[in-house]
Amino acid sequence: MTVPTLAGERPPAAAGRPGLAAQLLRRKPIGQLVSEAESGHGGTGLIRSFGVLQLTMISVGATLGTGILVILGDSVPLAGPAIWIAFAIAGLAALLSAVSYAEMAGLVPAAGSSYSYTYATMGEGMAWICGWCLVLEYAVSVAAVAVGSGQYVNEALSVFGLALPDAMSQPPGAGGVLNAPAIAIVVLAMVLLVRGARESAWVNTAIVVIKVGILVFFCAVAFTAFNGAHFEPLLPMGAAGVSAAASRVFFSYIGFDAASTAGEEARNPKRDLPRAILLSMLIVTSIYVLVAVAAIGARPWGWFDGTEAALVKILEETTGQPWVGVVFAVGAVLAIASIVLTVLYGQTRILLSMARDGMIPKIFGRVSARTGTPVAGTLIVGSVVALTAGLVPLGALADATSIGTLFAFALVNVAVIHLRRTRPELPRSFRVPLFPLIPILGALMCAYLMANLGAETWAVFGIWMVVGLAAYLGYGRRHSRVAALSDAEYREASRSTAPGATAAPEPTKAEIS
C-alpha cells in the first residue's frame, strides 16, 4: 500500500479541506511520522550519527548549569536555605515528565519532540499550541542563558584588572546598551551547528565533561567552609517561597526535551533515547541539589540577594586565591556555551518538523545535502536569538520560558495516557511504570508549578498564545499538509502503521469531515 507523503510537493490548497473544527482534530498518523523521519524532507534527511553517549550529553549539556550558574542569585531570595528543596521539587516534576517523554521518544522517534507526540495523539490544534510553546521554551531559554555570560566574562577578566563596561555586558533595563558576550556566544553556537550535528555533539561532550568537573570542584571547595547554621530557619519565606523558586528554576530542566529532538539523528532511537533521557535527568538533579546545598552551607542565604556570579565569589572568598575564581568563571562560560549550543540545536529540529508539516514556512525544513543540517533555519533562528539575548533582560526571559516548558510537558503526559488507551498495540521500547499514576502526577505537577508563576508571566503567555493563534490562522491552517489530504487519502494514511504495529483504527468522522 502506498501512503500519501505529507512532506512532498503537494499543493497546500488541496480541494476538500476540512472545516476548522475538524482540522484542529486531525491527527498525524504515527506510521507517517516514522516514514518521514526515515526519508527526510524533499529527499534529504538528517544524518544518523548519535549513540547513547552523545544523546545523554546533549541532554546534560542543555540542562546542567542553567539554574546554578545563571539564576541562583535570583532564586535563593525566594526560597531561602530551602533552595535545594526547590531544585528537588522542580527536578521531581521534570523527572515525572521525563518518564513520559522516554515512552514517547521510543514510540515516535521524530525530530519534533513533544510537538510530534501531540500531533499524533491530540490533533493539529493542540500540536500547534505545543509547537508554539516550544518556540517560546527553546528560543527564549537560549537567550536567557546567554544573557548570564557577561558576568562570568567579567569575572575572568577581573584577574587582569580588566572588565567590560556595563554598556557592553548588560542588556537594556539592566544598566547596559547591548550584551555583547551573549550575542557572541549565540553566534558561535550557530556557526558550529551549521557545520554539522556530529561535530557539534563531540564539542558539546567535551564541554560537558569540563562543566561537570568545575561543579564538582566547587562542591569540594565550598564544603570546606560549610556551616550548618546557614540552614536555620529552613523556610524563612514559607512553603510559598519554595514553590515560587521551584517554578522559576524549572526551566533549568528542559535539557531532556532537547535530547528527544534528536530522534532522527540517533542510530538506534527506540533504544537509546529513553536511556539518555532518564540517565541525564538523574545526573542533572543530583548535581543541582548537591551544588545548592554546598552554596548555602558556605554562605548565608541573604548573601545571595543581588549577587552576580555567586559561585565564583564563594570560591574566591573561601580560598583567597583569585585564580580559582577565574578558572571557574572560564568553565562557567564554557558551560553556558554548551547550553546555548544544545538548546539552539533542539529549536532548529522542532522548527524543521513543523515546516515539514506545512505549519511554518518551508525554509525551516530544508536540509543541506552537504552538511545534513537545516542551514537556513539555523541561521534565521540563531540571528533572532542573538538579538534577543543582547537586548532583553534575564528575569523576563526565564519566567516566560518556564511557563511554555511546563505547558508542553503537561501535554506529553496527557499524550502517553491517550495513546495507551487508544493504541495499546503499538510497540513501545520503554513503558512508563505505575501507569497511569506517573503521567497523571506529572501533568498535575506541571499545572501546580504553572499556577505559582506570577500574573505578569501569565500575561506574557496569554499574549504569546494570541500571536500564535493569529499565526496559525494566517499561515498554518492554509498550508497544513495533513489537512490538504482528501478524505480517502487521510483514511489510507491513518491505516498505515509504525513498524511492528498492527493496523491502526479508522479515523473518526469528526477528524475527516
More confident residue, 392 or 512: 392
Mean pLDDT of 99-122: 87
Q: What is the pLDDT of residue 176?
A: 74
Q: What is the pLDDT of residue 260?
A: 86
Neighbouring CB atoms inside 10 A of 44's CB total 16
Whole-angstrom Cα distance, residue 232 to residue 255? 33
Residue-wise pLDDT for 381-398, tens only, equals 999 988 888 887 655 556
Q: How confident is the model at residue 66 (pLDDT cuts 50, 70, 90)?
A: low
Q: How confident is the model at residue 13 (pLDDT cuts 50, 70, 90)?
A: very low
For the chain, what is the mean pLDDT? 83
Q: What is the pLDDT of residue 4?
A: 46
Task: Using the structure block, give the residue that is written with the C-alpha cell 534527511.
Answer: 45
Percent of the chain scored above 70 by pLDDT?
88
Mean pLDDT of 307-333: 82
Q: What is the pLDDT of residue 398?
A: 62
Instruction: Identify any residues that bridge with 86 across adjacent strands, giving them in sequence order.
Output: none
Whole-angstrom Cα distance, residue 412 to residue 321? 47
Whole-angstrom Cα distance, residue 493 to residue 153? 53
Residue among 211, 253, 268 nearest 55 (CA): 268
In order, the DSSP letters of 443-471 are: HHHHHHHHHTS-HHHHHHHHHHHHHHHHH
Q: What is the pLDDT of residue 162?
A: 77
Task: Please state which of the ranges 58-62, 285-289, 301-305, 424-428 shows the lowest mean pLDDT.
Answer: 424-428
Instruction: Identify any residues that bridge with 41 across adjacent strands, giving them in sequence order.
Output: 44
Q: What is the pLDDT of residue 34?
A: 74
Q: How confident is the model at residue 513 (pLDDT cuts 50, 70, 90)?
A: low
Residue 503 has pLDDT above 50, yes or no: no
Q: How confident is the model at residue 159 (pLDDT cuts 50, 70, 90)?
A: low
Residue 339 has pLDDT above 70, yes or no: yes
Residue among 118, 108, 121, 117 nearest 428 (CA): 108
Q: How confident is the model at residue 48 (pLDDT cuts 50, 70, 90)?
A: confident
Residue 438 has pLDDT above 60, yes or no: yes
Residue type at 291? V
Q: How confident is the model at residue 88 (pLDDT cuts 50, 70, 90)?
A: very high
Mean pLDDT of 406-425: 90
Percent of the chain scored above 90 by pLDDT?
33
Task: Please state which of the ranges 2-6, 317-321, 426-430, 493-497 shows the lowest mean pLDDT.
Answer: 2-6
Collapsed DSSP state (helix, strand, coil) of residue 508: coil
Q: How confident is the model at residue 7 (pLDDT cuts 50, 70, 90)?
A: very low
Residue-wise pLDDT for 442-499, tens only, equals 999 889 888 888 888 888 888 889 999 999 999 999 999 999 888 888 888 777 554 4
Mean pLDDT of 205-212: 90
Domains in the chain, start-ordered, CATH in brackets? Answer: 41-483 (1.20.1740.10)
Residue 212 has pLDDT above 70, yes or no: yes
Whole-angstrom Cα distance, residue 255 to residue 275? 14
Record the cell numbers describing residue 326, joined without a space. 577565574
Task: Please state which of the ranges 37-46, 172-181, 264-273, 383-392 shows the lowest mean pLDDT.
Answer: 37-46
Mean pLDDT of 65-82: 79
